[in-house]
Amino acid sequence: MRKLVLCVAALCLSGMTAMAADDPIAVRKHIMDSVGAAAGLSGGMMKGQIPYSPAAGKSATASMMAAASSFGAFFPEGTDTGDTTASPKIWEDAAGFQKALDKFAADAGAAMAASGKDGPADLESFKAAMGPVFQNCKSCHEAYRIKK
């Protein structure tokens, strides 16, 4: 399954390669849009607003894994200005930002592994797998994102 996620991420990224060369900020935003969609689906299931399904749980987990595998590559020097909410702290504390990205990738990888082939069997398993991933989102946004 990890190979499948990486293949999907590679295909998505290959489609964005030209855009990335010209506008890594736009690519970051598209990746975060996919994270937002996965978080919305996950939150809806966790709150009981959307019926839980293992396939939907796997999809949300795979989206997080794809984002975690690619997101950090789109913060080259000079992309701290423009239409972005990326905090200058990303470039001032590059080691800290990389540590946050590494934790996101590790937790998303653990969630993928816990999901198994078909996705978490029930909502409680999904919550347990994705809880650390969402905690990463929160802590990274607090430290490395400008609130508007």
Domain ranges of the chain: 2-71+85-144
Tell me how far apart the alpha carbons of residues 28 and 67 are, in angstroms, rounded to a whole number. 9
What the block records as the tokens of 42 is 């996950």
- Mean pLDDT score of the chain: 89
Check if the beta carbon of residue 71 is closer than 8 Å to that of residue 31.
yes
Question: Which superfamily, per CATH, for 2-71+85-144?
Answer: Cytochrome c/b562 (1.20.120.10)
Residues 9-25 have pLDDT tens digits of: 555 555 544 455 589 99
Q: What integer pLDDT is reported at residue 103 of this predicted model?
A: 97
Asked if 50 and 44 count as a contact pair (C-beta separation under 8 A), the reply is yes
pLDDT digits (tens, 9 = 90+) for 23-49: 999 999 999 999 999 999 999 999 999
Beta bridge partners of 145: 86
Q: Give the C-alpha separation, 75 to 111, whole Å.
A: 25
